[in-house]
Amino acid sequence: MHRQTKATLLTLLTILFWGGAASAFKIGLRYVGPFTLLFYSVAISTLALLIILALQGKLGTLKNTPTPVLSKALLLGILNPFLYYVILFKAYALLPGQIAMPLNYGWPLVLTLMSAPILGQSLSRSQVAAVGISFFGAITIATKGQFTHFGDVSHLGLLLAAGSTLIWASFWLMNARDGVDPVLKLFLGFCSGLVCSLLFSPLLGGIGWPPAAAWPALIYIGLFEMGITFVLWLTALQLSTTAARIGNLIYVTPFLSLLFLRLVIGEQIHPATFLGLALIIGSIIFQEFQAKGTDPINLNPSPHK
């Protein structure tokens, strides 16, 4: 099979798995709290990544990893998966999936805004316009197109969904290309996140044993939101002739998520959600086309977020 064909097939599989993540979040949160959902899904993902590294014969590279790189990967694990998913899962617990998911997809625009002060870059007019359009899309979703008030939508949930984009953007700004195998760095980060989950469990309500009905969602999140699918995406990027050829395909994911939320969860999708999401995704794609060849920031390291 041709390399590009393999890359496209892996990307389509990635889109399918990530498209079901929002529904899995909502199902899992029916039976367990956000912190319990975090702990078990991170534990499952860590085990999956360990098995993948073993199958790839890369476990031995752990001892050859420079100490500064090792320390940085462990510290970044505090941001992602620990802090990021604590906040994201709480947002999903407070909001309908059709609101939490699209708001979380605005992180590439947040990355653009943060890059200006952190990396000393100036924002072009097209970037400012893209951020403005994305913000308008977010307001459209949050207010269901009414613009004057948020109705009965949780204000805390909206803040948490927006805050998750800040954490994810910060994670990728700090996740410099250091030549270390990305799967290895991901494993180290998840080990760190798992330890943080254990240390903070007394402060966040403890970790209970999930009921049987919660396990399908926990396993799905651990394997297909966090673990295996990330490796599939990295492999697709490596096989593709250019990242752009598969990068824009991934933006089908949030629309597929809405379909799954309707079919699996039974959420009635408000028309304003489609409009707002189209504005957010359209502004991101517009910015990427405008930035080709000039913007050093990779807006697509893991664009399902």
pLDDT digits (tens, 9 = 90+) for 78-90: 999 999 999 999 9
Q: Tell me the average pLDDT across 39-47.
A: 97
Q: How far apart are CA 232 and CA 220, in angstroms?
A: 15
What percentage of the chain carries pLDDT values higher than 70?
91
**pLDDT bucket at 116, cuts 50 / 70 / 90:** confident
Tell me, what's the pLDDT at 305?
A: 54
Cβ–Cβ under 8 Å, residues 32 and 217: no
User: What pTM, to 2 d.p., does this model score?
Assistant: 0.89
Listed range (49-53, 108-112, 208-212, 295-299) with the worst mean pLDDT: 295-299
User: pLDDT, tens digit, for every residue of 88-106?
Assistant: 999 999 999 999 999 998 8
State phi, psi for 51 to the nearest 5 degrees: -65, -40
What is the structure's pLDDT at 302?
57
Nearest to 131, CA basis, from 288, 284, 296: 284
Cα–Cα distance for residue pair 84/160, rounded to 1 Å: 10
Does position 292 have pLDDT exceeding 70, yes or no? no
- Report the candidate in 117, 136, 92 with the shortest Cα–Cα distance to residue 277: 136
Q: How many CB atoms lie within 10 A of CB 54?
A: 11
Mean pLDDT, residues 22-49: 96
Query: 139 in helix, strand or coil?
Result: helix
State how far the Cα of 101 lies from the Cα of 91, in Å rounded to an integer: 9
Write down the pLDDT at residue 153: 87
| Residue 176 or residue 249, greater confidence | 249
More confidently predicted of 18 and 69: 18
pLDDT at residue 303 tops 60: no
Backbone φ, ψ for residue 195 (5° rounding): -65, -45
Q: Which residues are within 8 A (CB) of 279 and not within 5 positions of it... i.e. 6 or more apart? A: 133, 134, 136, 137, 140
User: pLDDT-based confidence at 296, cuts 50/70/90?
Assistant: very low
Q: Which amino acid is at 219?
A: I
